[in-house]
Amino acid sequence: MKGIIFRKEAQERIDEIKEVDILIGIPSYNNSRTIGHVVRAVQTGLAKYFPEKKSVLVNSDGGSTDGTMEVVQNTTIEDFQSILLHHRVEPVLKIATPYHGIPGKGSAFRTIFEIADAINAKACAVVDSDLRSITPEWIELLIKPVIEGRFDYVAPLYHRHKFDGTITNSIIYPLNRTLYGKRVRQPIGGDFGFSGNMVKFYLTKDVWETDVARYGIDIWMTTTAIANNFKICQAFLGAKIHDPKDPGADLSAMLYQIVGSTFDLMETYSHVWTKITSSEPVLTCGFQYAVGLEPVSVNLDRMIDKFRLGVKELMGIWKEFFPPEIIDFLHKAKGLRKKEFHIPDDVWVEIIYNFAIAAHKKIINKEHLLKSLTPLYIGRTASFVIETWDSDASEVEEKIEQLCKIFEDKKTFLLENWV
């Protein structure tokens, strides 16, 4: 596979740096408002927890026009003494460079991997540039398991609002856990730690022209680590609060990229997941504590309207692969009032498995198929919101656990139809 060619300035910087112990990557696109805080947290984390290690911060930018890269270059902690009591402070090196390839998070990560490989980084982490809740401890929690515990991949574990991360909660976490047998709670969390070996392995894969180059990168990284038996763990990072994802980002495109990548990985690793019959917990590092979260506003009427519109107009597509029971159910659900609106777990699991089978059998164009999932996903999210309106965090977690169990129980249906 052909590697990417860095810009002259980036190449010169790489030649100067030669080798590092730790690399922290920050992908960005027009995040000048929040990236300063993230850079400061990273610098403090590296100075506080890894003062003796040679470290570099890499900003891989998607062509920001709001001065994001300048903010990265100019952000420094002026008064380390007030933050750190007596640690020796090594300067944190920086590389800020635009990435090449398909515009998207995955392409930004690829540049980070290439730089990590070029300067032979022993431990790496990536953190989102829109985080408002990142603290220096995140760097310790993502990097220490790699350096001291010899883990190859550290997935994040956060406390999130009960209505946050709905693609994770309703599709990706239960499905990934059922398929590969590891209970990684935030497989598409966005903030990960990983070893130099993991980076080298990622770079052997030729996936950068697919949806992995976009939002598919997170699930690809997690699944690749699990399916290839790398040593994995989770790190509890506290609350995840960040700016809303790119406001212009289209939900159906995002859903298509993430779910499409998950289904593509099912093809790649069918020899792995078809043999797995149960799931097991993954070691979690870090002290877990309760956190306060910002409220999330939900427009239920609009969500249910979108579901109804989908059932009315897209039934022609779904009829090609849904069994009659699901078709009947959807027709009935369309007529339900807001108070009664409910999509049960078992129906939802069957919907997802039928989509996976339809994608596998290439029944219709993949993009049309997966984008037609959007109204059903919105309906399911509305149902989840109604159901958990008065529930606290632990009750919601229990509800998600129940859903996971149904995913696991019905895996035989998936296996039987995966021909």
Partner 1 sequence: MNSFFQRVIIEPLDRFLERVLYFLPNLFSSILIFISGIILGLIFKAIFLRFFRAIKLDKFSERSGMLEMLKKGGIKEPISLILSKLIGWLAIISFSILSLYSLDVPAIERVLERFLLYLPNIFVAALILFFGYLLSNFLGRAALVAAVNAGIKLSGLIGRLVKLTVFLLALTMALEQLGIGRGTIVISFAIIFGGIVLALAIAFGLGGRDIAKEYLEKKIKGEEKKDEINHL
Distance in angstroms (rounded) separating the CA atoms of residues 76 and 35: 12
Identify residues 263-302 at the interface with partner 1 (CB under 8 A).
296-299, 302
Which residues face 154 on adjacent strands? Answer: 193, 233
Which residues face 97 on adjacent strands? Answer: 60
Query: What residue has token string 């420094």?
Result: 76
Least spacing, CB of residue 298 vs partner 1, in Å: 6
Identify residues 51-80 at the interface with partner 1 (CB under 8 A).
none
Beta-carbon contacts of residue 344 (< 8 Å; ≥ 6 apart)? none
Candidate ranges 41-49, 111-119, 309-317, 330-338; the one touching partner 1 (CB under 8 A): 309-317
- Position 252 contacts partner 1 (CB under 8 A): yes
For partner 1, which is the closer residue by CB, 251 or 282?
Answer: 251
- Position 354 contacts partner 1 (CB under 8 A): no
What strand order describes the sheet that includes 123-126? Answer: 93-98, 55-61, 22-28, 123-126, 192-195, 153-159, 232-239, 284-285
Residue 131 is given by DSSP the state B
Query: What residue has token string 């403090």?
Result: 44
For partner 1, which is the closer residue by CB, 20 or 333?
Answer: 333
Contact 207, 253 (CB under 8 A): no
For partner 1, which is the closer residue by CB, 194 or 215?
Answer: 215
Here the tokens at position 176 are: 């990934």
Q: Which of 89, 251, 276, 291 binds partner 1 (CB under 8 A)?
A: 251
For partner 1, which is the closer residue by CB, 50 or 384?
Answer: 384
- The size of the chain, in residues, is 419
- Position 261 contacts partner 1 (CB under 8 A): no
- Position 391 contacts partner 1 (CB under 8 A): no
Other beta carbons less than 10 A from residue 283's beta carbon: 12
Identify residues 152-171 at the interface with partner 1 (CB under 8 A).
163-168
Residue 82 is given by DSSP the state H
Least spacing, CB of residue 60 vs partner 1, in Å: 19
For partner 1, which is the closer residue by CB, 84 or 326?
Answer: 326
Give the phi and the psi of residue 225 in degrees, each rounded to 5: -65, -45
Q: What is the rounded radius of gyration, in angstroms, for the C-alpha atoms of the chain?
A: 22
For partner 1, which is the closer residue by CB, 282 or 364?
Answer: 364
Query: What residue has token string 């003494």?
Result: 81
- Position 81 contacts partner 1 (CB under 8 A): no
Q: Can you give the binding site for partner 1, defined by CB under 8 A?
A: 163-168, 188, 190, 215, 218, 242, 244-245, 250-252, 254-255, 258, 296-299, 302-303, 305-306, 309-310, 312-314, 317, 362-365, 367-368, 371-372, 374-375, 381
